[in-house]
Amino acid sequence: MSNTDFALAVEDLSVSFDGFKAIDALTLYIDRNELRVIIGPNGAGKTTLLDLICGRTKASSGSIKFKNTEFSGMAEYRRVRLGIGRKFQTPSIYENLSVFKNLEVSYPAGRSVFGALAFRCTDEVKARVQGVAEEIGLADRLDAEAGLLSHGQKQWLEIGMLLMQDPELLMLDEPIAGMSSRERELTAELLKRICQNRAVIVIEHDMDFVKQIAHKVTVMHQGKILAEGPMDKVQADPKVIDVYLGH
Ligand code: ADP
Ligand code: MG
C-alpha cells in the first residue's frame, strides 16, 4: 500500500509543553473506512494527539497528512472543511434548541445551492437531518429540546452534528463515559455503522467496548506507541499488560 491510500498519515510527530514531550516522534497510519481505537494510561498523550490532528494544538515537529494533504500550519476550520470531525469529551450541544435545530445548524452552510442565508429551509437540509437522526437513533425525538435528552442521547446528538458535515475522519474522545450499558451497546452499533463510510478514531478505556468495535488497537504510553495490532494480540503483549491492562 502506498502512503496516498491512507486516510491519515502521522509521521515522526512531536509536541513539547515547557520541555515535556507529550507526543514523542509518533508515527501512525489510519486506513480509509478503518475504526481505530487508541488506549493507554492517563497522561499518555491520547487527547493531545487528537488536538494535533484537528489543529487545536500546534506540533513542534513532524507531519500530519490527511488524504495526502499536509496539515502542518493549516487552521482548524480549514481542516474541518477538508473532512475532519472531532468530538470532545464534554458534549457541546445547544441545550435549549430542539434536536432538529441542533442538527440543522450543523449543516455546512456553503454546501447548499441556495447559499448561506437560505439554507435553513431547503428540502435538502431536512432530508439530511432526517437521515442523520435515523442513524443516531433520535428520529422520534426531533422536536424534543436537546437539554431534556438522556446523557447518552446527548452524546449521540453531538455525533449526529458532526455527521451532518459528512466528515471523512471522525475522532471521538471517550464517547461512552457515563453511559448505561444499553447506551454503550447502541453506541458500539452506531460506530460500526458510521465507519463504513469514513475513518474513525476512538479513544476509550472500556475494554469490552474496545473489543466490540476496534479493527485495530493502538496503545500509547508516554507520548509514544507501545503496541499496535488486533485486540487479541495487543491484549496478550506483556509490555501492554505491564503499563496498562494489568492495573
Ligand atoms: P491522555 O489523553 O492520554 O490522558 P493528554 O494528551 O491529555 O493525555 O496529556 C498528555 C500529557 O500532556 C499530560 O502530562 C498533560 O498534563 C500534558 N498536557 C496536555 N496538554 C497540555 C497543555 N496544553 N499544556 C501543558 N501540558 C499539557
Ligand atoms: Mg484524554
Domain range enclosing 12: 1-83+168-247
Which among 228, 226, 217 is positioned nearest to 244, based on CA atoms? 226
Burial of 182 (0-12, 13-18, 19+ CB in 10 A): exposed
Q: Are residues 186 and 74 in the same domain?
A: yes
Q: Are residues 77 and 155 in the same domain?
A: no
Question: Ligand 2: distance of its center to the CA of 46 in Å?
Answer: 5
CATH classification at residue 4: 3.40.50.300
Q: Are residues 67 and 180 in the same domain?
A: yes
Ligand 1 surroundings by CB, under 6 angstroms: 17, 22, 40, 42-48
Question: Ligand 2: distance of its center to the CA of 110 in Å?
Answer: 33
Given 119, 144, 166, the domain boundary residue is 166
Q: Encode pLDDT of 168-198 as tens digits.
A: 999 999 999 999 999 999 999 999 999 999 9
Q: Are residues 221 and 149 in the same domain?
A: no
8 A C-beta contact, residue 179 and residue 137: no
Q: Are residues 45 and 139 in the same domain?
A: no
Closest residue (by CA) to atom 7 of ligand 1?
47
What pLDDT sits at residue 245?
Answer: 84
Q: Are residues 21 and 52 in the same domain?
A: yes
Q: State how many domains the chain has.
A: 2
Which among 194, 159, 171 is positioned nearest to 85, based on CA atoms? 171
- Residues paired with 145 in a beta bridge: 98
State which residues of the chain have pLDDT below 50: 1, 112, 119
What pLDDT sits at residue 1?
Answer: 47
CA dist., res. 12 & res. 23, Å (int): 9
- Ligand 1 atom with minimal separation from the 17 CA: 25
Q: Are residues 175 and 159 in the same domain?
A: no
Given 119, 136, 166, the domain boundary residue is 166
Question: Ligand 1: distance of its center to the CA of 48 in Å?
Answer: 6
Given 166, 181, 200, the domain boundary residue is 166
Model pTM? 0.93
Which among 122, 99, 104 is positioned nearest to 112, based on CA atoms? 122
Ligand found nearest the CA of 21: 1
What pLDDT sits at residue 76?
Answer: 93
Ligand found nearest the CA of 23: 1
What pLDDT sits at residue 5?
Answer: 78
